[in-house]
Amino acid sequence: MDTSYPLTVENCPLDEDMAITAIDVDERHRFRMLELGLRAGTVIRVVQRANFGGRVVARGTERIALDGRTASRITVAPAAG
């Protein structure tokens, strides 16, 4: 896996456990991310790529659709374990 650029939900591989390291969105969107259970340390898995950079991520048994802009602003790293 090439880590020469920041790894985001938009460019991370499919079906691999990734831990969120940062979410760079405004306060209103940050609150929405918290409501969805997406915060630093949360382990997610990108399960589907959609048009225009959108992604569907799995958090446990839940599926969450993210638009391309949001997906590009959530930084991730391979989950330990």
Domains of the chain: residue spans and CATH? 17-78 (2.30.30.90)
DSSP 8-state code for residue 55 = E
With 0.85 as the threshold, say if the pTM is over it. yes
First to last CA, the chain: 17
**pLDDT bucket at 22, cuts 50 / 70 / 90:** very high
Q: What is the C-alpha separation between 81 and 16, in angstroms, rounded?
A: 12
Percent share of the chain, pLDDT over 70:
93
**pLDDT bucket at 55, cuts 50 / 70 / 90:** very high
pLDDT of residue 3: 54
Residues 10/48, Cβ–Cβ less than 8 Å? no
Contacts of 6 (CB under 8 A, 6+ apart): 75
pLDDT of residue 59: 95
Q: Tell whether the model's pLDDT for residue 36 goes beyond 90.
A: yes
Helical segments of the chain, H only: 27-35, 68-72
